Structure 1
Amino acid sequence: MQWKHFLGLLVFFILISGCESTNEEQTLYVAAASDLFNALTEIGDEFTKETGIQIEYTFGSTGLLTQQIQEGAPFDLFTAAHESYIDKLIEVDAVDANSKEYYAIGRMVLVAADSNEQKIDSSFLLDPNTKTITIANPEHAPYGKAAKETLESWGIWEEIQPKLVFAENIRQAYQFVESENADVGFIALSLMNEAEFNYELIDEANHKPILQALAIPKQSEQPELSKQLADFIISSKGQEILKSYGFDTP
Structure 2
Amino acid sequence: MRLLPSVPVLSLALTMALFSWSAQAEKITIAAAADLKFAMDEIVTAFKKTHPTDEITVIYGSAGKFFTQIQQGAPYDLYFSADIAFPHELENKGLAGSTITPYAIGRIVLWSTDLDASQMTLQSLTDPAITRIAIANPQHAPYGRRAEEALRASGLWERLQPKLVLGEDMIQVSQFVQSGNAQVGIISLSFALNPELARKGGYWLIPDTLHEPLEQAFIITKRAEHNALARAFADYMQTPDARATMTAYGFVLPGETAASSH
Paired residues for 1:181-220 under 5 Å: 181-192=181-192, 193-194=194-195, 195-196=198-199, 197-220=201-224
Select 1:235's aligned residue among 226, 234, 239: 239
Residue 30 of structure 1 aligns with an amino acid whose one-letter code is I
- In the other structure, the counterpart of 1:160 is 160
Paired residues for 1:81-96 under 5 Å: 81-96=82-97
**How far apart in 1 are the matches of 2:220 and 2:116?**
45
How much does 1:122 deviate?
Answer: 2.5
SS in 2 for 1:159: helix
Paired residues for 1:128-167 under 5 Å: 128-167=128-167
SS in 1 for 2:158: coil
Contact 2:110 2:117 (C-alpha < 8 Å) held by counterparts: no
Residue 14 of structure 1 aligns with an amino acid whose one-letter code is M
How far does the alpha carbon of each residue in 1:122-150 deviate from its partner, in whole angstroms, 9 at most, with x for none?
A: 23210110000111011111100000000
How much does 1:21 deviate?
Answer: 3.7
- In the other structure, the counterpart of 2:35 is 35
For normalisation by structure 1, the TM-score amounts to 0.92
**How far apart in 2 are the matches of 1:33 and 1:117?**
24
- In the other structure, the counterpart of 1:65 is 66
Residue 146 of structure 1 aligns with an amino acid whose one-letter code is R
Please state if 1:224 is matched with 2:228: yes
**How far apart in 2 are the matches of 1:115 and 1:4?**
72
**How far apart in 2 are the matches of 1:125 and 1:143?**
18
Percent identity reads 37
Contact 2:118 2:203 (C-alpha < 8 Å) held by counterparts: no
Gaps of 5+ in 2: 255-262
Aligned CA-pair RMSD? 1.9
How much does 1:234 deviate?
Answer: 2.1
Select 1:15's aligned residue among 8, 14, 17: 17
For normalisation by structure 2, the TM-score amounts to 0.88
SS in 2 for 1:214: strand
- In the other structure, the counterpart of 1:123 is 123
How much does 1:121 deviate?
Answer: 1.5
Larger mean CA deviation between 49-58 and 102-111 belongs to 49-58
SS in 1 for 2:105: strand
How much does 1:175 deviate?
Answer: 1.1
How much does 1:221 deviate?
Answer: 6.7
Residue 241 of structure 2 aligns with an amino acid whose one-letter code is K
Residue 211 of structure 1 aligns with an amino acid whose one-letter code is E
Gaps of 5+ in 1: none
**How far apart in 1 are the matches of 2:225 and 2:102?**
23
CA change 1:231–1:64 in 2 (3 A) is same
**How far apart in 2 are the matches of 1:179 and 1:165?**
13
**How far apart in 2 are the matches of 1:45 and 1:144?**
29
How much does 1:17 deviate?
Answer: 2.9
Contact 2:190 2:250 (C-alpha < 8 Å) held by counterparts: yes
Equivalent pairs, count: 247
Select 1:6's aligned residue among 2, 5, 8: 8
**How far apart in 1 are the matches of 2:34 and 2:45?**
17
Residue 114 of structure 1 aligns with an amino acid whose one-letter code is D
